[in-house]
Amino acid sequence: MRLSALNKLVLRDLVRVRGALVTSGFGIMAGTAALVFFLALGLGVRGVLLGEVFPIDQVELEPPKGSSFGQLASFALGGGAKAPRIEKDEIEALEASPFVAGVYPKLQFSFPASARGGKELLGRDLNTGEMIADGIDPALVGEVGDLPFRDPLEACEGSGGCQRCATTKECKAPQYCEARQNEKGFCVDPVPAVVSRYIIELFDKSIAPAHGYPQIGEKLLSRAEGMVFKMWIGESYLGQAKQGTPRWVHARVVGISDRAIDIGITMPIQTVRRWNVEFSGDGAGDAYSSVMVKVAEKDKVGEVVELADELGLTPKDTRARDVSVLLSGVMALLALVAGIILIVSASNIAYTFRVLVNDRRREIALYRALGATGGDMMKWLLALALTVGMVGGAMGVLVAWALSLGADRLGATRLPDFPFKPETFFDFPPWLVLGALGFAALFSLLGALGPARRAGKVDPAAALAALQ
């Protein structure tokens, strides 16, 4: 059968039996709409949770939590509690793994500290009785705005020397005097610090509205000079360091990074190492409190975690893995529901086409008597089913897209502003649309396959004789 003749037959039947075909196509449309809507929702939520809230392409490893007092407990004991550390040989073992793209050690404050500042952004200074902070390799953070993320003393040495000082009054703002008590130091720029998007979202969506503060997320990203604040290192409300004299230092929030600690600030590791040695002794700078591992491929996180377990290390935060498993399970369940709808639709198509073949036995026999083959009859019905499936699938995709617009509208107007609230909860990648159309066509063809084979086996002589 020529393609033009096949097209004429299909178009004619679309008009002649449009009522039955619309009913069959409605099921395909409903199943496809459900499949696309649920998967697009899952992909959108997954992109936000695993891309911004819990990045899945990195994992932070640390010694087992049960063997450590914790940072705050250590501060309460004057910084004297010796917490487990990650040694260099463990880092080398991680770097040798083919599943690891990069290893970046992190070093927490081993001394208590507090901070105050933020007047230029919030209208008045905020005070924190306990500052949680850590240090990380500047290579992991990269460039943050127009300001370099590196230890200010190293930057000072690289520029050929800095002004010597005994107090900050001798330095030109915004520089301060980086010097131990009663010692000569250098006028350096404030220590660069980055914060996580999580803490910014938490402040903007929860703390700021409660206290009448302005939102600061966009300002932190756009202001080149950053936000300068003071830190009192070596002492806090919980206690004092076991050695050294508490003093003021200046820090500057230069931007937002997904490599930063969730609650607190992250600084260059060289700065934190120097201060740890000053207030906790030489041993506080020899090893690391945790290590950030950049995974070569997102689906290789499990292999990295297994290697870490062999080294006696555990993931600091398993939320990314837990959320990934949960989302995968929910998406699979919703896809199963949509699949059941498509199977029911295929059964409906099978019934419709069986009725169609019975009603057209005389017509089919006439075509066979005029020279059409059984394969031609199968092609005719399968092409009709394919057309119904593709049209129903396309309508289903459009319905899913329209429903997503409505859901996003409701989310924007009815849901309260919460951290990491996205502009859209859905993601429609091309493969999802093409896959949905393919499934719609497949289930339509499966439903019509049996009746089509039956039509191809009609005996023209017997059929015509029975109808005389």
Cα distances from 135 to residues 62, 202, 269, 445, in angstroms, run: 14, 22, 4, 60
Residue 69 is predicted with a pLDDT of 46
Residue 1 is predicted with a pLDDT of 58
Q: Residue 398 — pLDDT band, cuts 50, 70, 90?
A: very high
Residue 77 is predicted with a pLDDT of 46
Question: How many Cα atoms sit within 13 Å of 105 on the Cβ side?
Answer: 19
Residue 152 scores a pLDDT above 70:
yes
What is the CB neighbour count within 10 angstroms for residue 251? 25
Find, among 113, 156, 118, the residue nearest to 134 by Cα. 113
3-state helix, strand, coil in the chain (%, to 5): 55, 15, 30
Of the ranges 38-42, 340-344, 420-424, which is most confident? Answer: 38-42
The owner of tokens 């190293």 is: 154
Q: Residue 60 — pLDDT band, cuts 50, 70, 90?
A: confident
State the helix-helix crossing angle for 18-48 and 319-359, rounded to 10 degrees: 170
Cα–Cα distance, 233 to 10 (Å, whole number): 80
What is the CB neighbour count within 10 angstroms for residue 36? 29
Least confident range from 4-13, 412-421, 455-464: namely 455-464
Read off the pLDDT of residues 65-82 as tens digits, 9 standing for 90 and up.
654 444 545 544 444 445
Under a CB-based contact definition with an 8 Å cutoff, are residues 363 and 426 in contact? no
Strand partners, 58: 294
Cα–Cα distance, 87 to 287 (Å, whole number): 5
Cα distances from 295 to residues 100, 122, 125, 181, 322, in angstroms, run: 5, 38, 40, 43, 17
Under a CB-based contact definition with an 8 Å cutoff, are residues 234 and 112 in contact? yes
Residue spans per domain, the chain: 3-52+323-466, 58-316
Residue 331 is predicted with a pLDDT of 76
Read off the pLDDT of residues 322-346 as tens digits, 9 standing for 90 and up.
666 777 777 788 778 877 877 877 7
Residue type, 261: I
Mean pLDDT of 349-374: 74
Backbone angles phi and psi of 125, in degrees to 5:
-75, 145
Mean pLDDT of 361-372: 71
Cα–Cα distance, 292 to 137 (Å, whole number): 10
Find, among 17, 40, 30, the residue nearest to 343 by Cα. 30
Residue 268 is predicted with a pLDDT of 92
pTM of the predicted model, to two decimals? Answer: 0.57
Read off the pLDDT of residues 254-295 as tens digits, 9 standing for 90 and up.
887 877 887 888 999 999 999 998 898 877 777 788 888 888
Mean pLDDT of 107-135: 81
Residue 80 is predicted with a pLDDT of 46
